[in-house]
Structures are given as C-alpha cells and as structure tokens.
Amino acid sequence: MKYIYFVWKNLGRKKIRTVLTILSIMIAFLLFGLLRTMGSAFEMGAELAGEDRLISIHKISLIQPLPISHIAKIAGVNGVEDVTHASWFGGYYQDPKNQFAQFAIEGDKYFSIYDDLVTLPDEQLQAWLKNRIGAVVGRATATRFGWKVGDRIPLISSIYPQENGDRTWEFVVEGIYDVKDEHADSSAFLFHYDYFDEAKSFGKGTVGWAIVKVEEPEQSARIAADIDALFANSFAETKTSSEKDFAASFAKQFADIGLITTYILSAVFFTMLLVAGNTMAQAVRERIPELAILKTIGFSDFAVLNMVLAESLLISIIGGALGLAAAWLVAGAMASQVAAFMPGFAMDVSVILLGAILILSLGFLTGILPALQGMRLTIVNALGRR
C-alpha cells in the first residue's frame, strides 16, 4: 500500500494516453454490461420459469392453436394440479411501434398459477373478474403509457379483427400487476379469454397454449409424456415441455443471443487486450532506467513486478468500473423503453461480478508481460541503455 501513491502518480505520466486507454476499457465494459444484460433479459424467462409448470403447444408450432377442449382433458392427467391457457393477441397501442405482449387468459387461474412471480391487489383482481372488457396491465407498460386504473384503452390487433370487422378492441384497465422479481415480465397486458373468444372473427374455441401446474416437479417428464400421448394421432397433437425449456426455445426463435453476445464480447476483449497491453508495454519500455533506479536503491524484483502489475490493474479497474457504472445507468434508463420486447431488462449483480472478474483478468493479462520485463531487467544493462 506504501507504493500506491507512486503507482497512481505513474498513471498521470502520459495523461492523454492513460485517459484514452481508460476510455477504451470503459467503452468495452459499457458494451459488456449492456450486452450481458440484454442476453440475460432474453434468457431470463428460462431462469424464472417455475419448475412445477409445463407448457403444451401445438406439435407443429406455437402459432398453431389448440382446441380449448384439450384443457379439460389435460386437467384429467394424473399428477396435474391445475391447468389454464393463454392466447397471443398481437396488438398495438395507437401506433404499430407501440408493441408489447397481450394475452387473453382464463379468469383468475392465470394469477394463481403464476403467484410466485406476479402480484395483484385482491380488490383489483375482483374488479377485473367482474368486468368483461377489463384488463390487467403490468407496471412497466402502465408506466410507459401513463395508464391508470379506470382508463379505457383501445388496442389494434394485427391478427384478430372482431366479428364486425373492426380491428380495434376496447379494454378498461382494472388492475396493475407488479412482479416479485425485478427480472420478471411486468409489461404484459392481460384480458379475458371469454371476451376475446366471443368477439374474434375466426379461430373460435381455440387457445394458444396450455399452462400446466404439476403436483410434483419430479413427475414433470412423465406428465409431459402422458399429455402428449393423450393427443397422439389427433388433429391437434401437442408438444409439452417444462416452462424453462419452452422459454429457452422461445428466446432462441429470435436468435441465440447468448452466443452472439459472447462472440461480440470476445472480439471486444481481445482488442482491449491488445490496446491496454500495448499501452503497458510502452509505459514500461519508456521507464526502464527508472525501474533500474528503483532496483538500485533497494526495490526488489518482486516489488517492481508488483508495481507494474498494480498500475495495469489500476487502469483496468478505473476503466472497467466506470464502464460498468455507465452500463448500470444506461440499463436503468433503457429498462422502461425496452420493457415491451425485453421484459426484465435490468443489470444483474451476476453481470457486475463477471465484469469484476474480467476487469481483474484484463489488468493481469495486460500487465504481466511488461511486469516480468521490469522484474527481469538487470540494473547495469538498464542504466547502460539510458
């Protein structure tokens, strides 16, 4: 610690070079923070998925509907505790760019099955159950559009016109739900399936997918097989999987975000290794006579190694911490903007921890070669080079 002042002062030796290097590292970690947060948001559905929930979809694809009669049959499968369904509405608010998820759901079952993630005041739930065109909106979407309980919200469906040909569906906000985990989706717009099924012009008597709550999670694989076997060779065969697998495969329909972010970040960090490594190598090369003087007055090889490494780590820590802090601020500011298509967009502590590991690794890797060079230099030769 006695050397830290000296290490700190050395950073100011070439101010512009140090600032540019720190800025490069900062940008790299800003990118890291945002890309990892984005990747996590895509994967968060799988992370938050309940172990006791299964999802049944049409065997051909998610966009093929299931007959609602499947729901009652699934309820009869041994080990199923409860079952409900949801259907994709595919609408927008006022402008096509105002996209967010809207689901037609069944009564209060949806909330009881998802009570580990979602919370809704009971009076709002009761009000919603009583209002046929009522809707429950996630906090993020309510905040985004400034909606409050009692507001009448017209949504335009890109998929379902009403029987009268009108694509505009009117709803009344009866409740605003919150989530128990900051990464959970608080952007959905939920409304009554009965209203939706009666009013839509086609696809009546069908649902998007079934949500199955099982009595014992250990039995999930067997129950999923039983459900699929139940509808084998029917006109609407099912494909049942755990909610986690369903969420993961749903996310991968967009792209393998995790893989893409890993590739991008690998390239960024490889570049950073070269940039910061070159800076450190140059800094040590310029200072060889000074390092020799330090050794002359009694600093050990190990002390010199530590000082160069400490300098490299300090640059990395300053740049990395600034980058992560900037990412945290930007992610916070972006969260409400991207909530519609990336619910749960929030920088997780795991991103900060991984970032911290990367910061230390970057500092070590960029500093170790110059530090070894400083450690190994011989005083007589180094002073002779002056």
- Segment lying near other proteins (by CB under 8 A), choices 2-10, 71-79, 181-189, 315-323: 2-10
* 101, 189 contact by CB (below 8 A): yes
Q: What does DSSP say about strands 66-67 and 189-192: parallel, antiparallel, or unpaired?
A: unpaired
Q: How far is the CB of 359 from other proteins (least distance, A)?
A: 24
- Segment lying near other proteins (by CB under 8 A), choices 129-137, 247-255, 291-299, 324-332: 291-299
Question: Which listed residue (76, 150, 165, 298) binds other proteins by CB under 8 A?
Answer: 298
9 touching other proteins, by CB under 8 A = yes
Question: Which listed residue (156, 260, 281, 293) binds other proteins by CB under 8 A?
Answer: 293
C-beta atoms surrounding 178 within 10 Å: 15
Q: How far is the CB of 18 from other proteins (least distance, A)?
A: 12
Give me the sign of the Cα torsion angle 245, 249, 255, 256: positive
232 touching other proteins, by CB under 8 A = no
15 touching other proteins, by CB under 8 A = no
280 touching other proteins, by CB under 8 A = no
Distance CA 20, CA 279 (A): 10
Closest Cα partner for 17 from 381, 300, 231, 282? 282
Q: What one-character-per-residue DSSP string does 301-335 give?
A: HHHHHHHHHHHHHHHHHHHHHHHHHHHHHHHHHHH
Q: Which is nearer to other proteins, 200 or 295 (CB)?
A: 295
254 touching other proteins, by CB under 8 A = no
Q: What one-character-per-residue DSSP string does 236-292 give?
A: S-EEEEEHHHHHHHHHHHH--HHHHHHHHHHHHHHHHHHHHHHHHHHHHHHTHHHHH
Question: Which listed residue (158, 201, 282, 296) binds other proteins by CB under 8 A?
Answer: 296
Residue spans of alpha helices (H) in the chain: 4-11, 15-48, 69-75, 109-113, 122-130, 139-145, 193-199, 220-230, 243-254, 257-286, 288-296, 301-338, 349-376, 379-384
**Amino acid letter, 212:** V
290 touching other proteins, by CB under 8 A = yes
6 touching other proteins, by CB under 8 A = yes
301 touching other proteins, by CB under 8 A = yes
Q: How far is the CB of 295 from other proteins (least distance, A)?
A: 7
- The site for other proteins, by CB under 8 A, has a size of 23
Task: Report the half-sphere exposure of 354 (CA within 13 A, side-chain side).
Answer: 15
Question: Which listed residue (76, 78, 233, 386) binds other proteins by CB under 8 A?
Answer: 386
Q: How far is the CB of 298 from other proteins (least distance, A)?
A: 3
- Segment lying near other proteins (by CB under 8 A), choices 202-210, 262-270, 290-298, 321-329: 290-298
Question: Which listed residue (16, 72, 232, 297) binds other proteins by CB under 8 A?
Answer: 297
Please report, as ranges, the residues that interact with other proteins according to CB under 8 A. Answer: 2-3, 5-6, 9-10, 12-13, 289-290, 293-301, 379-380, 383, 386
